[in-house]
């Protein structure tokens, strides 16, 4: 399946039967692997990133562990693989070390693909029987959304791996995309003080960390009409942004010193080129800057006399907007310039995940799901920061206004960028 077929798949998602939606999502994962060699799928470039082969097996394990294994008398296909492809579910059992996933030359890619096919057969049998079990239906939705999250990770992880290869491999040529000829001026949209309602309203799928919906007090503030561009971030670099400790949070400055950061991940030394999923490319000045950490986003905001928006501010802006934008299904796989002539705020969805100034913590009244599934989100609510809006590597239809992504503040390998906010 190619990217455009996967876009058709995403449109089908809303209406198809559970078995149809299962097939759509599973096929889309394999479609992203179409240009990869078996060798590409084995290597792990850093502890945060996983090999493609591991993603293929782990997403399959998820369905086997959380859906198929609920059937009485179910016998796992490969009992030893439970250990290999459990990611972090302590209540399910022990697991292989995350940083050593790239050492698994066995099982082979062919064996993992066979595992996928055989679990798919079992899953399709289960879905066709449709016993009306609402818990199974909820777990299916979770499994499909989980697999979509791994589709995005597969793209960001292979990008990181390829970026370290002197041959600078091309994962996929960018699909033809409209290029903006002129830049959209940066403006701040004023928002009045008031009480907003944020969190998942209750219709359709959402992860547990988006609930419960609750009220928040928003002070008067403003939110930028578009994302920060490469040209704007280049100005920060050229004015010595990475050399001025006064702009940085202490932990961020430590990272700059320790890691020798002087530009976003994947930028060339010339500050004019960047490594992309289509290989090394000239940088578009008015495209959004991406692959910056929370620390870099925060330092840029301070340099610009602004700050990052709170997640509540972001959501209150986004919740009335259609979820449209540059997502993975479009095949561009890179953030695009804002299009002039459209009312703001622009680029809320797709392009890049937007760092917020909000720590990833529980909403008032949050309760993790009972059982092992409760380990999905809640136990990570410490030391991470919320990002909003999805990226050019996010599957279409996967995100919504209440969606909370989260990463450690030093993470740069996701498509993460910057929208500014200000106190009014």
Element housing 388 (H / E): strand 385-388
> How far is the first Cα of the chain from the last one, in angstroms, to the nearest whole number?
49
Q: Which is nearer to Fe ion, 49 or 292 (CB)?
A: 49
Q: Which is nearer to Fe ion, 65 or 316 (CB)?
A: 65
Q: Which two tokens stand for residue 256?
A: 């700059």
Smallest gap from residue 322 Cβ to Fe ion (A)? 29
Q: Check the CA dihedral 270-254-99-386 and report its sign.
A: negative
CA distance 412 to 252: 12
Q: Which stretch binds Fe ion (CB under 5 A): 39-47, 84-92, 111-119, 290-298?
A: 84-92
156 binds Fe ion (CB under 5 A): no
Q: Which is nearer to Fe ion, 138 or 280 (CB)?
A: 138
Q: Check the CA dihedral 103-105-111-116 and report its sign.
A: positive
CA distance 247 to 299: 5
87 binds Fe ion (CB under 5 A): yes
405 binds Fe ion (CB under 5 A): no
Smallest gap from residue 376 Cβ to Fe ion (A)? 8
Q: Which is nearer to Fe ion, 144 or 228 (CB)?
A: 144
Q: Which stretch binds Fe ion (CB under 5 A): 87-95, 121-129, 283-291, 304-312?
A: 87-95
Smallest gap from residue 378 Cβ to Fe ion (A)? 15
Smallest gap from residue 359 Cβ to Fe ion (A)? 22
Q: How far is CA 141 from CA 21, 135, 152, in A?
A: 9, 10, 17
Strands 385-388, 353-359: pairing kind: antiparallel
Question: SS3 for 406?
Answer: strand
Q: Which two tokens stand for residue 332?
A: 């561009």
Q: Which is nearer to Fe ion, 41 or 87 (CB)?
A: 87
| Residue position matching structure tokens 């529980």 | 362
How big is the site for Fe ion, counted in residues (CB under 5 A)? Answer: 1
Q: Which stretch binds Fe ion (CB under 5 A): 33-41, 81-89, 95-103, 338-346?
A: 81-89
> With contact defined as beta carbons under 8 Å apart, do 288 and 227 qualify?
yes
Closest by Cα among 289, 290, 345 to 313: 345
Smallest gap from residue 87 Cβ to Fe ion (A)? 5
Q: Which is nearer to Fe ion, 62 or 248 (CB)?
A: 62
Closest by Cα among 86, 84, 98 to 44: 98
Question: SS3 for 65?
Answer: helix
Q: Which is nearer to Fe ion, 150 or 334 (CB)?
A: 150
| Residue position matching structure tokens 């078995």 | 19
Q: Which stretch binds Fe ion (CB under 5 A): 82-90, 107-115, 240-248, 359-367?
A: 82-90
CA distance 2 to 185: 36
Q: Which residue is nearest to Fe ion (CB)?
A: 87
Smallest gap from residue 114 Cβ to Fe ion (A)? 21
> Which residues are at the interface with Fe ion (CB under 5 A)?
87
């Amino acid at each position: 399946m190619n990217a455009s077929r996967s876009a058709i798949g995403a449109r089908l998602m809303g209406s198809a039967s559970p078995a149809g939606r299962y097939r759509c999502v599973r096929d889309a994962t394999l479609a992203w692997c179409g240009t990869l060699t078996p060798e590409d799928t084995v290597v792990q470039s850093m502890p945060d990133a996983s090999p493609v082969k591991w993603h293929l097996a782990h997403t399959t394990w998820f369905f086997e562990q959380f859906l198929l294994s609920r059937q009485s008398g179910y016998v796992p296909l490969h009992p030893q693989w439970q250990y290999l492809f459990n990611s972090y579910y302590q209540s399910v059992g022990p697991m292989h070390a995350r940083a050593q996933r790239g050492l698994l030359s066995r099982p082979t890619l062919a064996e993992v693909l066979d595992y996928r096919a055989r679990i798919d057969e079992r899953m399709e049998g289960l879905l066709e029987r449709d016993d009306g079990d609402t818990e199974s239906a909820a777990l299916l939705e979770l499994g499909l959304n989980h697999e979509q999250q791994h589709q995005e990770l597969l793209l960001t992880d292979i990008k990181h791996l390829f970026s370290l290869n002197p041959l600078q491999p091309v994962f996929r040529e960018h699909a033809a995309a409209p290029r903006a000829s002129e830049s959209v001026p940066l403006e701040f949209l004023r928002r009045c003080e008031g009480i907003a309602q944020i969190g998942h309203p209750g219709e359709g799928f959402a992860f547990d960390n988006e609930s419960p919906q609750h009220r928040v007090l928003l002070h008067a503030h403003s939110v930028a009409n578009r994302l920060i561009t490469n040209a704007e971030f280049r100005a920060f670099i050229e004015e010595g942004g990475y050399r001025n400790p006064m702009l940085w949070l202490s932990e961020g400055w430590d990272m700059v010193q320790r890691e020798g950061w002087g530009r976003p991940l994947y930028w060339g030394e010339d500050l004019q080129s960047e490594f992309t999923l289509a290989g090394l490319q000239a940088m578009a000045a008015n495209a959004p800057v991406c692959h910056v950490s929370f620390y870099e986003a925060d330092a840029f905001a301070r340099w610009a006399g602004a700050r990052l928006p709170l997640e509540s501010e972001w959501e209150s802006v986004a919740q009335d907007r259609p979820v449209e934008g540059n997502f993975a299904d479009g095949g561009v796989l890179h953030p695009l310039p804002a299009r002039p002539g459209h009312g703001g705020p622009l680029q809320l969805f797709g392009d890049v995940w937007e760092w917020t100034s909000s720590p990833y913590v529980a909403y008032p009244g949050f309760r993790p799901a009972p059982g092992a599934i409760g380990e999905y989100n809640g136990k990570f609510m410490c030391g991470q920061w919320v990002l909003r809006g999805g990226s050019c590597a996010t599957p279409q239809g996967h995100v919504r206004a209440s969606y909370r992504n989260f990463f450690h503040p030093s993470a740069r390998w996701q498509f993460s960028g910057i929208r500014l906010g200000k106190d009014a």
